Amino acid sequence: MHQQKQFRRTVFVRLACGALALGFAASVFAADNPQVAIKTTMGDMVVELDAQNAPKSTANFLQYVKSGFYKGTVFHRVIDGFMIQGGGYTEKLVDRPGVRKAIPSESKNGLSNKPYTVAMARTGDPNSATSQFFINVNDNNGLDYPGQDGHGYTVFGRVVQGQETVDKIKGVMVDDMRGMQNVPVTPIVIRSATLLSGERLIK
């Protein structure tokens, strides 16, 4: 009888420890995949970042978020059926000061440019991404590594709430302005970008 009680106690302790370990792992996973609320003049959205598959891009984006860089920037390039791009210019279409050093490409991470995924914008240099990002509004697998240029574009997150906001933005009227194409006629301004925590996280 004593041995049976000791056996049950041992099993209970192991199960309890296992549950704690699973809980800890879940909390670590949640912490490793941060979420950012982006409020715009056309509605709000929440983006979940993929820190496991795109650690450099995630860390880079979070630095801009925490510094308040994105407040007052606009979605300056909108192409319905392709993507919406923002994070680099003010409402007057001038460069937002405070751009950090460019980061290396992580386009080989296996993530695909599916609808509502978030990717780093860049120039012809694959390692030139800084603050600008775009949200795919179509299945743009042609942007995946290796793409047409042998490099592709780095996906580092996805919209987990507010897809309807993305859908509203993609359909706005655009025109050519100040040497830029596909610029929304009515500016779409990012009012804030905030890191979420606790009960505000989207499950």
Quick: pLDDT tens for 6-58.
545 544 445 444 444 444 333 334 447 999 999 999 999 999 999 999 999 99
Q: What would the DSSP string read from start to end of 140-174?
A: -GGGSTTTTTTS---EEEEEEE-HHHHHHHHTS-E
Nearest to 75 by CA among 104, 33, 45: 45
Question: Would you state the structure tokens that stand for residue 101, as one six-digit string?
Answer: 């050093």
Q: Using one digit for the tens of pLDDT, what is the confidence trace for 150-176?
A: 999 999 999 999 999 999 999 999 999
Task: Return d(Cα 182, Cα 166) in angstroms, integer.
Answer: 16
Q: Predicted confidence band at 188 (pLDDT cuts at 50, 70, 90)?
A: very high
Q: In the Cβ-directed half-sphere of 20, how many Cα atoms lie within 13 Å?
A: 6
- In this prediction, residue 6 carries a pLDDT of 53
196, burial (CB in 10 Å: exposed 0-12, middle 13-18, buried 19+): middle
Contact present, 74 and 91 (Cβ < 8 Å): yes
In whole angstroms, give the CA distance from residue 35 to residue 47. 5
| CA-to-CA dists, residue 197 to 21, 34, 85, 159, angstroms | 21, 8, 26, 16
Q: Which fold has domain 33-197?
A: Cyclophilin (2.40.100)
pTM of the model: 0.84
Position 121 scores a pLDDT of 98
Domain ranges of the chain: 1-32, 33-197
Predicted local distance difference test score (pLDDT) of residue 147: 87
